[in-house]
Amino acid sequence: MRHSLLRREFLHLSAAGAITAAGVPWFHALARATGRQPKARSKSCILLWMDGGPSQAHTFDPKPKGQYDSILSAVPGVRVTEYLPKMAERMKDVALIRSMTTNEGEHYRAKYLMHTGYTRLGGFEHPALGCIASSEVGKKDGEMPNFVTIDAGFDKGNGGRLYRSVPTYLGVQHTPLAVSDPYKGLENMGGADPDFDAQLELLMKSERLFAGELDAPPVKAKQAAFERALALMKSNKVKAFDVDREPQKTRDAYGKHKFGRACLMARRLIESGVTFVEIFHRGWDDHEGAVKRVKPRCEWLDPAMATLISDLKDRGLLDSTLVVWMGEFGRSPGDGSNHYSRAWTTLLAGGGIKGGQVVGKTDEKEKNPGGTVVERPVTAADYFATICKALGIDHEKEVMAPGDRPMRLVDKSGKPIEEMFS
């Protein structure tokens, strides 16, 4: 069949990001929504996802007589755990939300909620945040994909099934390109192959001939998407995935852990035009207690996050790049051994967010402090509306779901946290 790909072509296209780890081709429908013109991109986002649920009491909402001591940050009156000294120095660029509150304490349902802003009901799927950003503010015809995920590994296997971002009714063109290892980047891209270029040219001529013979929107969509996939393969921008091009000093500042490496790759991708990057690290479901686990994690988390924020700022990118740190929920007061969704913490920096502030507050009772939100509760829908506002996305916008069903990008109960922008 003249339109079939030889195995080698398939592998090269896969390595270029044409096929994600989930097996969904992001390029097949890049132009499917004929006539739709997304807004010019104004903002980008880097989501740092701590899969399993990080303990707020051992990170950004420490309590008196907690298992860790706390230290003062660069913002008067704001304390963080003693094992986050570099992030303490960067708190003027950071806004903490210490009053997150949801009703979902089961891992996968909570991951779904905090990736989509909606409670999972039956088999209906809502689009993930990164897919929404790709659809609403991503570039339609750019060489780079709008959404990239990076696996930063794990320190233990727990936390249940990993949530994989899906675009659902927004269209598969907004499916993320998946990087499985930040040390390898996009694999199998190196090395000249004269036969490969000749074969690609023949394949392209065949595709163009077919598109000319059958003048239909799906065919034109596939043609446009195929050319974009090839453009990525041949573009100098693909070098953004090669972190080894960075000076050794810069790589050292981010750290040798996969998470630090992923953060550096994310910065490079944002510079190259990617709209949304999600980095995920697994293993934060600390049922044995958080005290033994969070300290060694902070050794790589602290320098990587702090360097990412400072590096973006130094390059003039922080105002246009929102950095988000969160998991699906927090941990129980005290030792952090259980899931806890009633009161927990997330972090935002850049993207027009007013830094140096804390939104919300949890109690400081002598017994098990931090178990209750006592000031400015923030729901998942509120959180999503806030992120959308920071990215220049209309959180009240409706899109058509299957069955001609209008669906809002964010649940109608969601209201942006306005004080974060004042």
The predicted-structure confidence for 16-27, as pLDDT tens digits, reads as follows: 444 444 434 444
Q: Strands 321-326 and 44-51: what pairing?
A: parallel
Angle at alpha carbon of residue 52, lines to 409 and 374, rounded to 5° = 70
For the chain, which ranges sit under pLDDT 50?
Answer: 1-41, 190-192, 217, 221
pLDDT of residue 200: 61
pLDDT of residue 3: 40
pLDDT of residue 84: 98
pLDDT of residue 158: 84
Cα–Cα distances in angstroms (integers) from residue 258 to residues 21, 115, 381, in the given order: 18, 22, 31
Distance CA 105, CA 332 (A): 11
Q: What is the pLDDT of residues 369-415, one digit of tens each?
A: 999 999 999 999 999 999 999 999 999 999 999 889 999 999 999 99
Global pTM?
A: 0.86
Amino acid at 291: V
List the one residue out of 409, 417, 389 whose CA is nearest residue 43.
389
Burial-class residue 68 by CB neighbours within 10 Å (0-12, 13-18, 19+).
buried
Partnered with residue 344 across adjacent β-strands are 100
Burial-class residue 356 by CB neighbours within 10 Å (0-12, 13-18, 19+).
middle
Q: Residues 280, 51: contact at Cβ < 8 Å?
A: yes
Alpha helices in 189-336 (DSSP H): 194-213, 217-234, 248-254, 258-272, 291-314
DSSP-based three-state secondary structure for 398: strand
Distance CA 362, CA 65 (A): 15
Complete domains list, the chain, with CATH: 43-185+242-420 (3.40.720.10)
Q: Residues 64, 364: contact at Cβ < 8 Å?
A: yes
